[in-house]
Structures are given as structure tokens and as C-alpha cells.
Chains A and B, each alone.
Chain A
Amino acid sequence: MNKSASDTIAAIGTKPGEAAIGIIRLSGNKSVKLTEKIFRQKNRKKISQMKTFSMTYGYIVDKKEEMIDEVIITLMKKPKSYTKEDVVEINCHGGMAAADKILELCIKNGARIAEPGEFTKRAFLNGRIDLSQAEAVIDLIRSKTEQSLKVAANNIKGIVKDRIEELRKRILDVLVELEASIDFIEEDLEVTPYEVLEKNVIEIQKSIDELINDEKRGEIIKNGIKVAIVGKPNVGKSSLLNVLARKERAIVTHIPGTTRDAVEEILYIEGIPLIIADTAGIRKSKNIIEKIGVKKSFEYISKSELVILVMDGNTQIDDNDCEIVEELQGKNIIICLNKIDLKQITSKKEINKKFKLNDIIEISAKKNIGIDKLEKKIKTLVLGEEEFNIESKIIVNNRQKNILLDASGMLKHAIKAMKLKMSEEFPSSDLKLAYNLLGEITGQTTTNEILDGIFGKFCVGK
């Protein structure tokens, strides 16, 4: 029985490197017996006689009864443990040597090295956590930004699951009414009026759309958005990038760009991570090297979700400006009219009139004028007008969002049918699909619940 769920797994739970303690975690039927083989305690009390969630102090020894390290053992008996199996944690001294040696002893005595995420997988398979929580653990481990860590931590608590279950319950309540009036037509039931049910479905659909929108905004906060600073040469693109970066003093990483000459930086503006690149200046040129730079600039623009177009207020709008604006069709654009500390040759009004673009901010990158305004503008463009506090929101992952999109579509279809006063079987068909779809988020889908609902709610006979 290779790698089945019944064997005992072990892994070092702490990060390699210098630290005060190291933890080896064991889970499975044999974890207690196995630990007893390698653990020596002064009062000779057995681990199996310990109370769950208690600790004991002693030594880990090897085959020759030589001491490896002094340790503290924590016992969590099944089913009240992370994996719902017997879990033992051995707290040893930090540094990898001791932990490695203890792990090796565990393996020699019958444990197997856990695969990445296997403790969580067991928690899921043994029914302690649902799919959305298991996904959150994986997200947590993979989190790179502080924000995504917060989201993952929230989701481990089961807030996605709770929310989805609440939504399913609301759909089920409507389904129960619809189904009861089909199957128990002769039963004199006090069924909720159709108009009220329609309102309920509209509300449910709104709640789902909210989750979808929050996901979009959450995604931005978690992973940032790509921003390109573009413009013809010498309009002040680099100065703008510098002033944005300097002000925040929050350059987190330097990621080598996909192009050799566009270097991406992550900087936080109003809490939003912007993956920002200063592109080569765009103009018509015969110089081959410059041509390559321009081409790359356009490639970068096509990948970015927000474009900051810098124009020089001290010069006239020219063909190059016009061409760039043309290239930016369909993009989210903020125009920075730079160099307002100098003589104004091109005005905000003029740009507005010529390009029919509204988001124009007057700045001076050099003198640090108007930068606050620009940052506010970026925030409202990216996240919308209202305040968005990621910690108070439920942020689903991409898989979950796609399911929600499908479910929302189904509900819209149901609402349409109800508006047309089509009979119960029509919206019911849509709602059942939506109900089952939401079940895919938490990993469970079943139909018996509708009938149980009917019998719980209505008084029906033969």
C-alpha cells in the first residue's frame, strides 16, 4: 500500500536557516508509537498516555541510545488535530542539523516524507476543511505580498465557505418554494408569492456580483496591476517614475523585465501594488536600435492594464503625441501634463478637446507638483470611488470567480424568466444549476437538499 492515506507522514515544519527552534511534524496512525521509539523522558511516561493538546519534555535518541537533541513534544490526538489524524510535533533546537537528524530517525522508524501540502490534503480528505479552505492554505504558502497573505489567512478561517453556503442556502430557500408548488399542487400550501421570490433571486444575484467585483479589486491589491508610463522622448517619464518611487520609498523588488530595456518595479501607491515600467520614448525614427525600443514599448503597452501618458505642457502637441494616443485606443489612460512649472504652451482644455480624454492631471515631476492628485486618480481608476478595505472583504480565487460568473449568469436567466411570469419549472432549472455550481466552490454538490427543505418547511401529505 504505497502512499495511501493510512501511512504516517513526517516533515520539517520550520524554515531552513538560523532560527531558535525547529519543528518536525508527524501525522498518521503510527505517529505516537514511532515517537515513543525515539523519545526518552525522565519520568518514563508514555506519549500515548498523555492528554491531547499537552506537551512533555525529554530527549530524542538514536539507535545507540545517544542523545540527538533535547526537545518538547506536543500531542494532538485524532480527530481533533489539523489532519484529523494523530499528530505529534517535535520542537527541537534551531538550525537544520538537529531537525534533519530527527526527521531521518522518523523515516528510519517507518514514517514517510510528506509531499508538499500533504498535511493540508489530509485535512481536506478527512473532511476537516472544505475545498475553499484547502485552496486558501495553498495560497497562504505561496503568498508573496503582505496583502495576499491577509486574504489567504482570512479564507483559511472559512469565510469563503461560509459565504458560499449562505448563498446556496438562499437559493435553496427559493427552490424549495418553486419545487413545492410543482410537486404539491393540490396541497393548500402557503407558498411565498412569485414576485417576492423574484426579488430574492435578484438580491442573491447582486451578492454574487459583489463577490465577483471584490475578486477583481482583490486581485489588484493582491498581485498588483501593470502600469506603463509612456510618451514621446523627453517629456519627463523617468522623472515621473523617480518621483513616484522616491516619494513612496517602497521599491519592493526589481523584477527583470520581459524586455531588456523596460525594467519593472513594484511600488505601492495608496496601498495598491503597481508593477510599473518606464518605457522607451516613442517617436518615428530611422535608427534601428531606437526602432526596437519603440516596438518593445508598444508590446509593453498592450500588456498593461493602466497607461500613464506623459505630455509636455511646455511644447506643442505634435504628430508623435497623436500617434501614441491612437495606439492607446481602448486602454485605461491617465494623461499627465508635465512641466506645469514652465511656460504653458499646451493646456488641459486643448488636450481634452483634441483627444476626448478626461483624466488629465497637471503635474511637475521635477518640482513635485500634482503628484498627490495623480495618485488619487490612479486609485479611483483602479478600485473605484468607494473605500475598499481588503481585510473586511471576502476575496475568492480565480477558479472560484469563474464559477461565480457562471452562477451569476444562471441567476440572470432565472430573473428574466420570472419577469416574464414563466411558470416555476423555468427559473427552477436555472437555480438548480446555479446551486450546483456554487457547490463546486466548496467541493460538494447534491440534490436531496431541496426535498429535505420542502418537507421541513411545508406540511405535505401523500
Chain B
Amino acid sequence: MERMPGNEYGVIVIGAGHAGCEAALASARNGSKTLLATISMDSIALLPCNSAVGGPGRGQIVREIDALGGEIGKNVDKSYIHSRMLNISKGPALRTVRAIVDKKRYFLYMKQVLENQENLDLKQGLVAKIEKFGNKYKLIKTDESFYIGKCIVIATGTFLRGKIFWGKYEREAGRQGEINSIKLPGCLENIGYKFGRLRTETPPRVDKKTVDFKNIRTQKYDELPEMFSFDNVYDGREQLNNHITYIEKECIDFIVKNLKKSSIYEISMKSENPKYCPSIEDKVSRFKNRKRHQIFIQPEGKDTNEMYLHGLFTTFSEDIQEGIIKRIKGLEKAEITRPGYGVEYDYLIPGQLNINLESKKHKNIFFAGQINGTTGYEEAAAQGIIAGINASLSSWDKENIFLSREDGYIGILIDDVILKGVIEPYRMLTSRNEFRLYHRHDNADIRMSKILRKIGHEKKANIISKKYEKIDEAYSNIKKSKYFNSKKMIEDIKQDRLSKDNINIIKNTFNLDDKELNSLIINIKYEIYLKREIDKIEKFKTHSKLKIPKDINYQKIKNVSKEAVFSLERYHPGTIGQASRLVGVKPLDIFMLVAYINNVSRETLKNK
């Protein structure tokens, strides 16, 4: 640990949500003296909305974070109460775990990990101001006391000028029952940061004793759940079921009749309606032909009777929320324990960041999580671990790491958000990923291993490499062997109908465990499809190698469209790869840009 005065740190993380926790842990684990500052010691790693983690796209992210040494996967494995493998009707490349966790236990376990982490101080305090302090930063709290930090990670989630509302009612708050942060965004604006406004909604919770489960569908958990962390196996714990009910005609009519009592109409809001976390009032108005809308009734924990109504996101006044619930099968007599509400907050326009999540304006200031316009615990945690690792590396004046699009979902996430910007909270989906057959759950460890090597975990990376060498060897041996490479055998593998005997023969011949066998089968099953993606990755690599000079004048380049010049000047992409993903930049523009850069470098060579 660095020797520093009591209030001085190598890295200071502001905000102890999912991004902040991962950032602080990553920094401390990398050896930097780290402070995690939170508004309240009782609101660490909270799950204020759906307590589910994982699912398509997000499950893969959790695996990648775990492979990087992060905590979210391990903490879910400790605290889950319901776990299911999703997409089992699809091929194995798209299967992914989704777990519902016990909210209170998730918080407690994470807090414990933070408290016991070497190099890490966890303190309550609201940071109001950031000032330059030599080559460091001074963080001044609302009570005028301060900390000194060389690197800062800002992970304040929805708290910047947060406002919550339901019906006519609105008030300043980070979340229900918590204060927001007013001064910090003002300070950040003063030093040149631009913010936008986003909004999201939560559903009401009901008392389990008042729910009638008899006539509604049960969604069962998996008997033998797969864990998120590569290091964990099922511990035999008891799980709880979900239940599924629907909003049907009578209820839909009721909602339509009362639309005016939603905050959407009662309060004038600056933000757009989010597309993928739509409120029930939005769903009903936009999809008039739908005869029903699905609602999951999920447990919030083992020690509480509160149930979460997933799908019923709303900003109706409380009386209307009650009216809705009375008209849903199974919930006729349900009592609301707390109403749903909406939250509107400031987000940093993410084009102001570099791919390592550092601000383009200020060296050593990093931004991570929902503040960058994303939604979801997984997306936040992913940015947290990258920002945390980099802040720590910067505190040692070491070169930063970054993940590119071709490396995995985390790379896709950061690339998308920074280069394309957001107009509504950004949620990860497999459809966003052009390499999704390669960026899988099962191979997250090898995909992340290049980062492990860079941050000094050579040994762990070597073990992972060995595992994949074994799988690759098995793959090429199968291709060579007359016995295995028969048409029937390959077809059996592709159609998921390999006999138990043959499975055992393959496992024994090549000395593979179940997980390794799974990876091998995927390689065979998706062969040509994977090859396409890997070819594309190779192309990507050459594109990302081609750097754009910092002093380039886009106006000078012939034959680039006006729209493309506008985008290029606004974002100043570092590589051709990034430029090609900007909005308004078309293949022909890239072609001209590459030709120009090549010409310029030839000219400079000539002049030398």
C-alpha cells in the first residue's frame, strides 16, 4: 500500500453502486490506496429495480467481469434465490444464466467484501466539489472536509439532479427515500462537462400474503443451476419460484381511461420515453393491438414478504396503481407495500470519454456506470471494473488497458456508448453484438485473459490458455481422426444428439471436463458461423490498428460527405475502426479517409 497522509488516496471512487463497488475493488486489488465514498453506508450495491442479474447479453457481461477478477458474479452466486438458464431452445452459444438475488443479502455480502478488502477505505460522505490540486484533485464534501486523490472515478448513477415522481407528485431524490446530488453536477458543468437528461421507471411492490398464487402460472427455477463465477459450483441451496400473470382487457381499459393521471401527462418532462423499460401506460398506448401484457411476480428476498411486479413499471398516482393491481389475476386482493415511481436524472454525454473511460478533458478523471447513460447493474459493473483498473494503473503512471469490440460485450458496450451516444438508457442485448457466437458465456475467461496479463495475473492467464489449448487440440484431432470426423458423428454433434457413449469417449480420449466438452461442441456446431466472426475480427483488428493523426483536418479530405465530416469532427475517433462506427460515416467515407491518411504518411516519410 502506498504511504500517504490519512486523507490522501491514489484512487477515489464516488458512489457505491454497482459501478463504484467494482471500480473500488479493482483499484484496491491492483494495489492502489483507494477510497470509496458513498452517500449512505446503508445503500451500497443496492438493486432498486429488478433484482435479476444476467439474461441475454447481460449474463455474458457478468462472466466477463468475473474473468477480469470482478465481484458481481461471485456476489450473485452467494445471494441468489432463483436461477434459470435462458435460451435453452436456442443453440448453446446463446444460453445464459439469469438469477434473482436476495436484495438485502446482496447488499450485505458486497458491503462485507468491501470492508474486508485490503487497501480500501469505505466512507460515508457527499462529494460536492472537485478542484485541481497540483497534479492531483481535491474532493470537497458538503461539510467542507476534503480528500485528496490522484485519480477519480465518478460513479454516481442516477443521483445527479435526480428527481422522482408518480402521478402529480415529484421531488428531488436520488432514489425513493434517498437524497440526490445537486452541487456536484453544477461543479462538473462549470469545468466544462455536458449533461443530458434520462428517465426510467420502477414497478410497485406487493405483500406476498395478499397474493393469490393458486390460479396463476409458476415459473420454476433450475434444479441444478449454473453459477456465474467460473470458480463456483451449486451449493444445494433452496430456491424460490417466480409467478407469471397478465394485464388483460379489463385492466387495459382501466389504464387507458386513466392515462391522464400518469406523470407522463401530469408533469412536463425533459427526457424521452425509454423504449426498453417502457412504463405500462406507454406499452398500452403504443401497442393497442396487444390483448395482454405479461407481469412476473418475483420474490425480493428470503427474509421479506415484498414481491416485485416485473413488467408493471409505472408513474401513475398511487390510487391508480391500486386500481390496476385489483384488475390483475392473482393480485385482486394484493396490498401495495410501496408504489412504483419514475426517476429522471442527469447523464454525462458519453462522447466526452475515451475508450479507457477517462475524460477527454481531464487526465485521471474517469466516469463509470449509469452516469454514462447506460441502464442495468451489469452494464454499470462492467464500466466500473474497467474504470477502476485504469484509475489504479494511472495512479502508478502506468499505461491503461481497454477492451475493444472484438474482445467481448464490455468492449461493445463502451464502444457503442462512446461512439454512438445514447438517446435513452443503453441496455445490452445480444443483437448489438456482431460477434455474439464467439463472445460467449463459456469462453469469457480466455477472451479476458489478455487484460489479466497486462495487470500482472500472468499465472492465472496461463492456466486459462492451457485449458483452451487442450480444447483446440481436441478440436483439431477430431477433425483429423477417421472415427470422430465421420459425417454421422459431426451431424450428431451439430444436431445435439450425440450418444452418451460417444460423449464419454470424447471426454476420456481428450481428457475434458463437462465445461470444456461444451466449448468443444460449440466450436464444432458453429464452425462456419464462428469462422465468419473470427474473419471479421481480424478485419477489425487491422482497422483498429490504423490510427488517425490527432491533428487531422477533416475539411481537407476530398470526397468525404458533409454528414461524415460533422461526426468525425465532433467525436475525434482515435482509429479508423472507431471512425467507421460513427453515425453518418459510410463505407465510402472510410475508404477516402484511409486513402488520405496513407497519402499523408507517405508524404511525411518522403519529406524526411
Contacts and interface: CB of A to CB of B under 8 A. Distances in A.
Contacts of A209: none
Contacts of A429: 437, 529, 532
Interface string B89-101: 1110110001000
Contacts of B429: 183, 451
A455 interface: yes
A237 interface: no
A36 interface: no
B311 interface: yes
Interface in A177-196: 179, 182-188, 190
B556 interface: yes
Interface stretch (B282-290, B299-307, B323-331): B282-290
B91 A183 contact: no
Interface in B531-578: 532, 555-556, 558-563
Given A182-B94, A185-B87, A429-B437, A461 B310 contact: yes
Contacts of A448: 420
Contacts of B556: 1, 4
Contacts of A460: 276, 278
B360 interface: no
Interface in A352-411: none
B532 to A, nearest CB: 7
Contact of B430 (A182, A187, A190, A422): A182
Interface stretch (B49-57, B126-134, B150-158, B479-487): B49-57
Contact of A445 (B55, B276, B287, B587): B587
Contacts of B294: 187-188
A190 B313 CA distance: 21
Contacts of A424: 90
B168 interface: no
B430 A423 contact: no
Contacts of B310: 461-462
Contacts of B437: 425, 429
Contacts of B432: 447, 451
Contacts of B118: none
Given A1-B556, A461-B313, A462-B50, A423 B91 contact: yes
A126 interface: yes
B559 A459 contact: no
A443 interface: yes
Contact of A1 (B90, B277, B555): B555
B498 interface: no
Interface in B407-437: 420, 427, 429-432, 434, 436-437
Main secondary structure of the interface of A (DSSP, over half): loop
Contacts of A296: none
Contacts of B436: 425
Contacts of B311: 461
Interface in B349-394: 375
Interface string A125-153: 11100010000000000000000000000
A426 to B, nearest CB: 7
Interface residues of A, number: 42
B558 A3 contact: yes
Given A5-B558, A182-B94, A444 B586 contact: yes
Given A127-B563, A443-B586, A455 B276 contact: yes
A48 interface: no
Given A131-B588, A425-B436, A183 B290 contact: no
Interface in A158-188: 179, 182-188
Interface in B217-247: 246
A393 B560 CA distance: 33
A448 B420 CA distance: 10
A424 B276 CA distance: 21
Contacts of B292: 188
Contacts of A125: 559-562
Interface string A432-451: 11000000100111011011
Contact of B431 (A5, A454, A461): A454
A423 B529 CA distance: 13
A422 B50 contact: no
Identify which of A127, A183, A420 gathers the most chain B CB atoms within 10 Å of its CB: A183
Contacts of B558: 3-5
B293 interface: yes
B248 to A, nearest CB: 12
A336 to B, nearest CB: 50
Nearest to A179: B431
B277 A459 contact: no
Contact of B90 (A188, A420, A425): A425
A126 B562 contact: yes
A320 interface: no
B563 A462 contact: no
Most buried by A among B296, B431, B434, B436: B431
Given A425-B437, A451-B429, A461-B276, A186 B559 contact: no
B377 to A, nearest CB: 11
Contact of B555 (A4, A423, A432, A445): A4
A6 B555 contact: yes
A121 interface: yes
Contacts of A1: 555-556
Given A462-B50, A462-B277, A183 B532 contact: no
B576 to A, nearest CB: 16
Interface string B65-87: 00000000000000000000011
Contacts of B431: 179, 182-183, 450-451, 454
B191 to A, nearest CB: 32
B430 A183 contact: yes
Interface in B35-74: 49-50, 55-57
Given A125-B560, A424-B90, A461-B313, 11 more contacts: A1-B555, A125-B561, A185-B56, A185-B86, A186-B55, A186-B296, A426-B91, A426-B529, A443-B588, A448-B420, A461-B278
12 contacts: A3-B558, A127-B562, A182-B90, A183-B57, A183-B430, A185-B89, A425-B91, A425-B437, A425-B529, A444-B587, A455-B275, A459-B283
Interface of A: 1, 3-6, 121, 125-127, 131, 179, 182-188, 190, 420, 422-426, 429, 432-433, 440, 443-445, 447-448, 450-451, 454-455, 459-462
Q: Which 10 residue pairs of A and B lie closest in terms of their CB atoms, listed nearest first?
A: A188-B294, A459-B287, A423-B90, A455-B275, A179-B431, A183-B429, A183-B56, A423-B91, A462-B277, A125-B561
